[in-house]
Amino acid sequence: MSSPVSELIELLSLERLEDNLFRGQSRDIGTKYVFGGQVLGQALSAAQATLDSARDAHSLHAYFLKAGDIEAPIVYQADRTRDGGSFSVRRVTAIQHGQPIFFLAASFQEAQQGGEHQLSMPEVPKPEDIDPAPAVPAEVMATLPTKVQRWLSRQGPFEFRHVYPRDELNPPKRPPYQQVWFRLSEPVGDAPELHRALLAYASDFHLLGTATFPHGISYYQPNVQMASLDHALWFHRPFRADDWLLYSIDSPSAQGARGLARGQIFDRHGRLVASSAQEGLIRVVADQNKDVRVVADRNKDARVVEDQPKDAAGVSDAAAARNAPAKD
């Protein structure tokens, strides 16, 4: 009988159609469209499969162009952009129904020696000292939107333990920072390229959601639309995705229906093993008659610093005074 972990490994293992052409399957994990981490992990797997030398991925930059269809496979076209003396670059296009849905640029490097430094890991409780999130009671689940029921009822391959949990069903306003321990729920093999693809998959969890914290909203609410626009990931040091990793995330800004989030990923020994960044769409589709800007301070509660009524065209008084055009 397969497990969520074995199913994920199968998902990240692509079928080679030609030298630089691959096909991956899609999987419904409770989201309406293909999960962004799936496309990121599969595209990295495609890029890694085109390397002829022992070079490790150190940098990924990706753009999500359109939502993926969970009922259809995805074709990955890899371009061997450059193979230099120490570095290789690959560009991967994900295609569904004849249209590109995603672009990835990835850089790979031969192992080299150099100076080292890193930021310190935040002081947080050990994962063993944090209780897993409790299950949502059935009577509460029945009252939730369908998209939330699908998301909460899934059995995923990763275990997450939040250092400071937030009630996503009734989210309070709080500064945009969080730390989350995570790991695969069972051990896997030692291949570094597998662990990098697994981390690419996992890095899309909890990142953009941090940008909603100052606004007291969450993906669980039916009037909130969220979607990844881009994603960057840097691999710094070796790691294992089946051992505990700490995802320390902050969001420096949200504006124009977009939020920016940054992540640092540490192993349990305090080594910084990876960093991430993502900008995404965060749109509240109801109660759009206000233009609200929220600024958060690390040592203070989030506070609203601008709250201006909009006119019938959806333009704030301040924007009209500046002759600024209305925005979607």
Residues annotated catalytic, as ranges: 204, 228, 278
Antiparallel, parallel or unpaired: β 15-18 and 74-83: unpaired
DSSP 49: T
**How would you class 271 by CB atoms within 10 Å of its CB: exposed for 0-12, middle for 13-18, buried for 19 or more?**
middle
Are residues 152 and 140 in contact, defined by beta-carbon separation less than 8 angstroms? Answer: no
197: number of CA atoms within 13 Å, CB side?
Answer: 26
| Cα distance between residue 311 and residue 290, in whole Å | 9
| Cα distance between residue 279 and residue 225, in whole Å | 14
| Cα distance between residue 91 and residue 105, in whole Å | 5
Is the sign of the CA dihedral 158, 159, 164, 168 positive or negative? positive
Cα–Cα distances in angstroms (integers) from residue 112 to residues 36, 117, 259, in the given order: 31, 15, 36
Orientation angle between helical segments 4-12 and 36-48, nearest 10 degrees: 50
Nearest to 293, CA basis, from 257, 261, 250:
257
Cα–Cα distances in angstroms (integers) from residue 35 to residues 29, 181, 221, 260, 296, in the given order: 7, 20, 18, 18, 29
Phi first, then psi, for residue 194 (nearest 5°) are -65, -45
Cα–Cα–Cα angle for 184, 185, 186, rounded to 5 degrees = 95
